[in-house]
Chain A
Amino acid sequence: MKKPTVITGTVGNDAHVIGTKILSRALREAGFNVVELGILTPTDEFIKAAIETDADAILMSSLYGMAELDVTGFKEKCIEAGLDDVLLYIGGILGVGRRDAKEDEEKFKKLGFDRVFPPETELKLAIGDLWADLKAKGKV
């Protein structure tokens, strides 16, 4: 079986690195081919990397509260770039101030994300979701 390829990174002007680092390492240990873009990654770079590596999923992080601004229109750009089929995940603190995880989930699903993860996400479970979603798409 070919290793599935995934892109990780912190989107926009966000500099919080720890979450995406831990996630990247966990993904690698779980058998993924991980392209780790790190912090301060413009949405275009995610798309570029996904095209170049023929990625199966993009796993974005954002903690600084301005994610919505950063990713509005991202799904559309992905479609334009022919990445319709790439899974989009996002996780972190997805707005300014105390959050309601349910609201965040709805909001970012509307913006085109397949799954939305709150802080303190158990990464094992998230990676389990990823396997399941890839399987459902017949990618693994």
Chain B
Amino acid sequence: MINKEVRDAEDAIRDITDGSVLLLGGFGLCGIPEAGIQALVRKNLKGLTCISNNAGVDDFGVGLLLKKRMLKKLIASYVGENKEFEDQYRAGELELELIPQGTLAERIRAGGAGIPAFFTPAGIGSELAEGKEIREFDGRLYLLERWIKADFALVKAWKGDTAGNLIYKGTARNFNPLMAAAGKTTIAEVEQLVPAGELDPNQIHTPGIYVQRIFEGAGYEKRIENITVSP
């Protein structure tokens, strides 16, 4: 099998430059590419476009990129938790494109799957439908939506092998598999990297073909946004 292992996050993001378009996995702070984001912060790039379901919080996740004013545009479904976003947005320093979460997921899935456009009922009657083609199928209205692809995808998995195969854990899976398939160069970071052949082929969530670089991250913080416990 082709060996996709790279040294570390710095090595993995070596050709991400000012102005790159990035897909960033995760839902809230769950399943985000922590090591990759930290490496981006250290590199202090400018003018990035990030496609990520959320904007992180002020001092973690995508919020770290916002804080350093590295983003030109954010494409997300929900940015409610981030105050830094609001300031930059109101100051006109940041573009925002809000997309319904299911449409965002399906557009990214379409990008990886070679489907340039598809119809979905989500958004009909809302202001998100403005300027979009509407068509009736079987008596119901649908919006035409385009695929989303990007130069780079940064995803995080639980286990991975040197062939690039990935297994996610719990709800940390979320946007990661779709983004892995929609990135021209997909960078996977894993908690545990094993030699090809150690993972059960039947349990792979992301086949290695979608991953161009893989490394084992260290010291995952896995911050929790809302700790809720049973009494």
A associates with B: no
Interface residues of B (CB under 8 A from A): none
Interface residues of A (CB under 8 A from B): none
